[in-house]
A and B are shown apart, each in its own frame.
Chain A
Amino acid sequence: MKVLTLNFLTCAVKTCKASNDSFPLHPKDAELAKDGVEINPQLLVNVLPRIDWTALRTTSTELGFPALPEQPPTAEDLTSDEKMLQELHTLLLETQMLEGKLVCGHCGHEYAVREGIANFLLPSHLV
C-alpha cells in the first residue's frame, strides 16, 4: 500500500465517516519498503491538489519521515525544483507499507496490512 493511497482512506465503519478523527488512519507497526516507480512529473503536479496536505504531513511524520512543510508546494515549485519533485514522488508513489496496521482514531478499529495489501472487511458487528 502506497502513502498516496493512505491519503484517500478513512475508516470503513459508516458511523466513523462523519468524524474528523477517522482520517487519516494511523499506521502502526509499519514495515516499509521502497519500490522503483518511474517518475511522471505531470501526474504528480496534477495529483497534488487532490491530496489532503494536512493529512499527508501527519502520515509522513507517523511513518518516521522528516516533517513536510506546512503548506503544499505549488505547481511552479514542483516543476522548478527537481529535488522536491523526486522526494514527493518517492514518498507518495514509491514508499510501500508492506506489513502493519491502520488504526482509526475514532473507533480504534485496526485494519491489517499484509503483503502490501490493506484489508478493510469489517467483522459483522461493525458493518
Chain B
Amino acid sequence: MTSLPSSSAAPAVAKLAAAAAAPGHDAQAEVEAEAYERTHVHGVYEAIAPHFSATRHKPWPAVASFLQAQHPGSVGLDVGCGNGKYLRENPAVFMLGSDRSAALVALARSRLGRSEEPDAAVAATTTTNAAAGSGVEFSHESGAAISDVLVADGLSLPFRDRAVDFAICVAVVHHLSTRARRQEAIRQLLRCVKTGEAPSGQVLVYVWALEQGNSRRGWDEGGEQDLLVPWVLKSTSQTQQSRTLRRGLDNPTTAKQDAVVANKSGEPPAPTMPAGDGPAAGTGGVGHTDPVVFQRYYHLYRKGELEEDVLAAGGVVITSGYERDNWWTVAANEAPPSQSEK
C-alpha cells in the first residue's frame, strides 16, 4: 500500500503572511487568504461533505466531557459544527451549530430532525475502529433535537455579544491560513460567550497537533506546520452522490461504504490510489473509477501555540491538554474585576 503524502503549504502561506504584513494591504491580504481557504478548505468540504460526514460519528472524549458538564438549559455554540455530531451530545442544552459549508449544515439539519441515528449501520461498522481508540459511541439520539443550525463564517459570526454560556470549536481553527485569522477566530468565539464566574463563558478549542509521534502520518516536533493533506474520493459515483446530498437528500448506503475507510482519528487511511496532485477542489472530467484527490489546508499546532493564540485573542486559558494527535484548550474572557479582587 502506498500512501498519498501530504505536501507543504509553506510557500503559499508565506505569501499570504507577507501580503498581510505589507502596509496598507490588509483588505487585499484578507481577500487572498479567504480565496486560498475557499480552494483548500471550503470548496473541499462542500464536495466531500457526505463522505466526510460518514466518517464523523464519535465525539472526542475531551469534547464530550466538556459538553456533558454544561448545566441544563445552557445555550452553547458549535462553530464549525460539520455534520452536527456534537449537537445532541447533551440533550439538556440548546446548541446552535454553525458551519461555513452549506452542504454539511444541510446534513446536520436532517440529522437533528430524525428520531433515531440514521447511520446506525455505520455506527455498527465503525465499532471495529473503536478498538483503535476512537472514543465513545455517538449516542443520545431520541426524538427531534432542540438544537439548531445555520451557515456562517467563523470570522463573521452572527451571534450577539456575550449571549451564550459556552462555545466549542473543534477541528476548525487549524484550517485558517494565517495566524492573525486563527487568532481572530478565537476572538470571535470569546466575543459570543458570557463573562463571569466559571464555568460560565468557556470556549473549547480543539486543533490538530504537529506532535503526532504515535500516528503513522509521520509528523512530529520540528516539522513543517503548514500542510496540504489529501482527501481521496474513490470514484465519481461518490462525487455524484455528494452533489445529490448537497441538495439536502441523504443516502445511508454511501455512508455505510465510506465508514469502512474511517480510521482512529476519523481521517481517511493511507489510500491505495495512485499518488498525484489531482484537482484541488475541482470536479468534472474524471473517469468512472478515477479517484478524486482534494487537498485540504491544515496548520498543525505545535505545543503551546494554541495557548499563545488564546492570549493574543484577549482570552485566558482555563485548562488545556493533548488528546490523540490534537491539542485542546478551554479558554474564557478575563474575569470581571470583582472576581479577581477576591
Q: Chain A interface (Cβ within 8 Å of chain B)? A: 1-2, 4-5, 8-14, 17, 23, 35-38, 40, 42-47, 50, 52, 93, 111, 115-122, 124, 127
Q: Is the beta-carbon distance between A50 and B149 smaller than 8 angstroms?
A: no
- Given known contacts A5-B148, A12-B153, A37-B144, is B100 in contact with A121 (CB within 8 Å)? yes
Contact call A12/B158, Cβ cutoff below 8 A: yes
Q: In angstroms, how far is the closest chain A Cβ from the Cβ of B167? A: 12
Residues of A near B105 (CB, < 8 A) are 117
Bound: A13/B31 CA distance, A: 16
Q: Is B41 an interface residue (CB 8 A)?
A: no
A122 with B156: CB separation less than 8 A: yes
Complex formed: what's the CA distance from A14 to B160 in Å?
11
Tally the A-B contacts, defined by beta carbons under 8 Å: 107
Q: Which residues of A contact B157 (CB under 8 A)?
A: 12, 120
Instruction: Indicate whether A117 sits within 8 Å of B150 (C-beta atoms), given known contacts A46-B73, A46-B74.
Output: yes
Q: How far is the CB of B302 from chain A (nearest CB, A)?
A: 29
Point out the residues of chain B lying under 8 angstroms from A13, CB to CB.
Answer: 156
Q: In the bound complex, do residue B153 and residue A37 qualify as a contact, i.e. CB atoms below 8 Å apart? A: no
Whether, in the assembled complex, B71 has its beta carbon less than 8 Å from a beta carbon of chain A, the answer is: yes
> How far is A8 from B157 in the complex, measured between Cα atoms in Å?
11
Contact residues, B126-175 vs A (CB, 8 A): 143-144, 146, 148-153, 155-161, 163-165
> What would 23 A/B residue contacts be, using CB atoms closer than 8 Å?
A8-B159, A8-B164, A10-B159, A10-B160, A12-B152, A35-B113, A38-B144, A42-B73, A42-B92, A46-B72, A47-B73, A52-B160, A115-B106, A117-B102, A117-B149, A118-B151, A119-B150, A119-B152, A120-B150, A120-B156, A121-B100, A122-B153, A124-B34
B64 at the interface (CB under 8 A from A): no
**B109 lies within 8 A of chain A by Cβ:** yes
Q: What is the distance, in angstroms, from B213's C-beta to the closest C-beta of chain A? A: 38
| Interface residue? B75 (CB, 8 A) | yes
Q: Is B327 an interface residue (CB 8 A)?
A: no
When the two chains form their complex, are residues A8 and B160 in contact, meaning their CB atoms are under 8 A apart? yes
> Quick check: is B96 within 8 A (CB to CB) of the other chain?
yes
Contact B158 A9 (CB under 8 A): yes
CB-based contact B148/A1 at 8 Å:
yes
Q: Is the CB of A8 within 8 A of B151?
A: no
Pairwise interchain contact A127-B150, C-beta atoms closer than 8 A:
no
CB-CB nearest in chain B for A3: B148
B161 touches A17 (CB 8 A): yes
Inter-subunit contact B159/A117 (CB<8 Å):
no
**A9-B160, A44-B73, A46-B71 provided; 8 other pairs, C-beta below 8 A?**
A12-B153, A17-B160, A38-B143, A45-B73, A46-B73, A111-B158, A122-B156, A124-B34
